[in-house]
Amino acid sequence: MNIHPTAVVDHGAVLGADVVVGPFAVIDRDTQIGDGCVIGPHAVIHRYTSIGPGCRIHAGAVLGDLPQDLAFKPDTVSYVRIGARCWIREGVTIHRGTKPDTVTEMGDDCFLMVNSHLAHNVKLGNGVILVNGALLAGYVEVGDRAFISGNAVVHQFVRIGRLAMMGGQGAVSQDIPPFCTGRSGAGNQILGLNVVGLRRAGFKPESRQALRAAFKILYRAGLNTSQAVARIRAELNDAAVTEFCDFIAASKRGICGLLESAEDAGE
């Protein structure tokens, strides 16, 4: 371990092998820092926070502070859990769960850019990227490899599906289905499928075409959501389409609508 002499590390913190702690960083008791992590200057790691191996925490990040919830009781024991190989840049804030024994959690290989925020009980999958200033309210759920652009804001309890992309300065109070792209600078509007993301993720042409057909049924066939999902399930047999339908069927806040001027989802 390499701990700068100005850092404050409580005796109740557990640090793994080869951890580096920078100047004026603070690590509280009841924390766990995985092997090979680098904690930057002035970063603060509060109680009940665990960080997986190989993470890099940049200057001024604050992890595990109390939730911004007026109903939170100060003696509540709740947690922040961060996976392996995550990259957390300057000024990022992550708050712990608001109810006893609940968790704000992040999967492996996530990248949180400058001044992004995870409120209490947020759940990120693996490989999620938040660009500068992206703000996620309480209980938001984000699927694997989703991309949330700069200064985007997500209302509490909203879900962002796997490989979805949310545009910069966008705002959503409804769910973005998997594989879809949200409009920049607007609220609750879908532009189409995240075709580039699907290709980069290795989706085969036949699966992309099935998703294109499912998207058209959902947004262009003049059906309500339940009718569209039933028709998609009846007509299309594809694992990604099934994921698309399951996500929509489980929505409690409803899904974002299609921008009227948007082109059909295409290749």
Residue 233: CA atoms inside 13 Å, Cβ hemisphere, count?
A: 13
Examine the pLDDT at 267 and tell me if it is beyond 60: no
CATH assignment of the domain containing 12: 2.160.10.10
Look at residue 153 and tell me if it is in a domain. no
119 and 221 share one domain: no
133 and 202 share one domain: no
Q: What is the pLDDT of residue 207?
A: 97
Task: Quote the tokens at residue 4.
Answer: 């700068």
Domain count, the chain: 2
10 and 100 share one domain: yes
Let me know: does 116 contact 92? Beta carbons within 8 Å: yes
Look at residue 32 and tell me if it is in a domain. yes
CATH assignment of the domain containing 213: 1.20.1180.10
Examine the pLDDT at 51 and tell me if it is beyond 80: yes
Task: Quote the tokens at residue 149.
Answer: 């652009």
Q: What is the largest CA-CA distance in the chain?
A: 66
- Give me the phi and psi of 217, to 5 degrees please: -65, -45
Q: What is the pLDDT of residue 244?
A: 98
Query: 1 pLDDT band (50/70/90 cuts)?
Result: confident
108 and 13 share one domain: yes
Task: Quote the tokens at residue 25.
Answer: 């960083």
> Which domain covers residue 243, as residue numbers?
198-258
List pLDDT tens digits, range 216-265: 999 999 999 999 999 999 999 999 999 999 999 999 999 999 987 665 55
Look at residue 265 and tell me if it is in a domain. no
